[in-house]
Chains A and B, each alone.
Chain A
Amino acid sequence: MRIGVFICHCGSNIAGTVDCESVAELASGFPEVVYSTDSMYTCSEPGQEGIITAIHEQKLDGVVVASCTPRMHEPTFRRAVERAGLNRYMFEMANIREHVSWIGKDKEHNTNKAADLVLMAVEKLRRNRPLVPKSFETIKRVLVIGGGVAGIQAALDCADGGLDVVMVERDQSIGGKMAKLDKTFPTIDCSSCVLGPKMVDIAQHEKITLHTCAEIEAVSGYVGNFSVTIRRRATYVDWTKCTGCGVCTEKCPSKRSPDVFNEFMGTTTAINIPFPQAIPKKAAINPATCTMIQKGKCGVCAKVCPVGCIDYEQQDELINVDVGAIVVATGYDLFDWHKYPQYGEGRYPDVITSLQYERLLSASGPTGGHIKRPSDGKEPKNVVFIQCVGSRDRSVDRPYCSGFCCMYTAKQAILTKDHIPDSQSYVFYMDIRAPGKGYDEFTRRAMEEYGAQYVRGRVAMIYPHGEQLMVRGADTLAGTQVEVPADLVVLATGVEAAQGAVKLGETLRVVPDQYGFFVESHPKLKPVETNTAGVYLAGACQGPKDIPTSVGQGSAAAAKALGLLSKERLESDPAVSKVNLSRCVGCQKCIGTCPFGAIKAITDRQGKLKAEVIETVCQGCGICTVTCPQGAIQLEHFTDNQILAEVNALCPPKMNASFE
């Protein structure tokens, strides 16, 4: 091999504390180094040209650059050697700036260390080999999991961008949490007026296929070529015929179904359309409460249906679809506040969640938009809001802030005053977090214009007090105990990961964090990517988010998917694991430890089991290489021999064979 070494001064950044000329001179004596030089700025245009010229003139087949961190300029230099006709993997970098000149002051030690790092790079390079990426076609279709506002935005953006979209929603209608809200902060505009048209767009967009009452059963394949199986639950209604006329829901005699859409504030019919603006506006039967399905008697809906779409025998349906990218927008669920003994654990009907309160405020809600407390239907005068129920509390393993409760509590306090002008709201809070545009002003309006009483402190207990509830808590600013009589207590329940997120994560090979929120690829620079290429995150499934942020992420995820699938073909990184079939004994240990399912068992011509890497799925972590006792599966570009060469360069084995 003929290796060229280039030592960068980086102005005085390196040369200030490293004798670059000496390093270059030492390097000229390293194995297979035929050319060694130092330059002022190797990454600059003339610096790169110098490398290219040397490759041509010296017939180099490998290049080492000693300069800054490879995390900075490795791609730059790889492109440079590629321009000179070398394979990009015939290049190594020694980091003598961040790891040497910037952290050590002794020039002699630094110079020695720099030379060692160059030697390591040379020894590794000697074992490098050209690697060529494989290219493959992509499927121009995106799967969006979750039909909340984030998913809706992602789906519309993808579809407008020309991609086919398949949207999968677990509930009967899309719309998510936002569809249940009455008004939104800080503008107090009507939630369903904002969301409704987007939901309709989903239903009408020719590029979007919507599956509700559906969940992801299995996912296989890799970026650009996923194969997805969707399970659509039986609705017992043929949706190709159902017109959403609602006759069945009027006549249904079984009215014991929990009203999910209204947050269990009351019950509804066994056959039901969850809310007037539902998309798709189709009826579905809750089999748990349908007398026909449970006992075989009734059949009223089938009789009254004008189009004959009721089918009590309907089965779950499995739908297979191939997609090139996946957007996960599965949202969040509310913390189960019953874990707190101080709020009565559900004994007091007039302690409700903030989302239930939204339904009470909503004109389409169970009370028609009149605030009536659950116990006796009376209009409450004193409403106590308690913040941070299941947020910022280690005792219930929810140490994180849910982010938007401060804002909606302020909104609800304002709306309470709008609905009941002679009411008084009290808000128990820990801190007010209002960092968004117009947010702080909004909370101040709640206090200053709408007279909400903010009490900084935790609530110790709630107990019945005649027809009222007594809320006892601390006022930490006043340093006193306070007791506030309440007609209604609203808990600002925190956000937690959607039910089933962990299981979905396993299916998608997206890791949930310890609370079940999906982990993004990089917290700053790759907030919507995941570590599985081609799978993106949008909205609260990644962590608590308010509406504008969720929408923004929906668009961001869509942009990523559009960017990815705008390429006709994708190239896979060739620095992936490779099986030496003659060494593989087929023990399959690597298959078990691969986090990406990138290794499969094959049978060779002699009928022996062997491992095979699916190059496009392999992410290049190297767990398998360490797992394999024979060293039969090697991570290219980080093979055992390459790493051992570096070890041996640093700690040379002694060559004294015989002692005796």
Chain B
Amino acid sequence: MPAQDERELRIVGFLCNWCSYGGADTAGVARFTQPTDLRIIRVPCSGRIDPLFVVRALLNGADGVLVSGCHPRDCHYAEGNFYARRRLEMLKRFLPITGIDERRFEYTWVSASEGQRWQHVVTEFTRRIHELGPAQSFNPATQEEWFNLALNEASKGEACACHGS
């Protein structure tokens, strides 16, 4: 069941093995129904999640990327989510300059016991992505799109006094 419409969108999840992946398991064991769009990649720790994985997914055409780790202080490896928090926060703050809607990326903390919270996170995030709709491909997909892009005023950067002319 995708969140709103029939069409599934592509949402990638990166979950740490010890907390959030367990939280998703807990949600499953409790049969907490969730939208089906999300596919989860298991990593040992949120500290293993390179923000560039998120960028790679978005540039490959993911409609949304969700990262979840242990709550701060609860990291299995003591410090992983502290590093992750800094890295991911900077990515989230950076996205607006690229024109990629930063709402397509979110990071949060879910513990292994928080099945209900996981259900809530997945449902809300999937709803948000469906509201945003399918992401635009960074590479123009057709020649026509390419032509339109080449003629687009914004692409010439004319609104930017320093960089366009």
Contact = CB atoms under 8 A, between A and B. Distances in A.
Q: Do chains A and B touch in the complex (CB under 8 A)?
A: yes
Interface of A: 69-71, 95, 97-100, 102-106, 109-110, 112-113, 116-117, 120, 509, 511, 513-514, 519, 521, 531, 593, 595-596, 619-623, 625-627, 635, 638, 640, 643-644, 646-648, 650-654, 656, 659-660
Given A71-B21, A103-B34, A595-B78, A120 B41 contact: yes
A651 B2 CA distance: 18
Given A99-B40, A109-B2, A646-B41, 11 more contacts: A103-B31, A104-B33, A112-B8, A514-B73, A595-B80, A620-B44, A621-B45, A625-B50, A647-B41, A651-B10, A659-B143
Interface residues of B, number: 51
Nearest to A620: B44
Contacts of A622: 43-45, 47-48, 80
A647 B60 contact: yes
B31 to A, nearest CB: 5
B92 interface: no
A120 B33 CA distance: 23
A623 B33 contact: no
B109 to A, nearest CB: 15
A452 B122 CA distance: 54
Interface in B36-68: 36, 39-45, 47-50, 53, 56-57, 60-62
Given A104-B34, A593-B83, A98 B29 contact: yes
Given A71-B25, A98-B25, A654-B61, A109 B36 contact: yes
B89 interface: no
A116 B38 CA distance: 10
A117 B37 CA distance: 12
Given A623-B79, A647-B56, A635 B48 contact: yes
A648 B58 CA distance: 11
B94 interface: no
**Which 7 A-B pairs have CB atoms at the shortest separation, nearest pair first?**
A98-B28, A622-B48, A621-B77, A651-B60, A623-B47, A595-B79, A102-B28
Contacts, number: 151
Interface string B4-30: 000010101000010001101101110
22 contacts: A98-B25, A103-B36, A106-B36, A109-B1, A109-B8, A116-B39, A117-B39, A593-B83, A621-B44, A621-B47, A622-B43, A623-B45, A623-B79, A643-B41, A647-B12, A647-B53, A647-B57, A648-B56, A651-B12, A652-B60, A654-B141, A659-B140
Interface of B: 1-2, 8, 10, 12, 17, 21-22, 24-25, 27-29, 31-36, 39-45, 47-50, 53, 56-57, 60-62, 73, 76-80, 83, 87, 119, 137, 139-141, 143, 146
A5 B136 CA distance: 34
Given A623-B83, A626-B49, A103 B40 contact: no
B141 to A, nearest CB: 7
Contact of A103 (B33, B41, B79, B87): B33
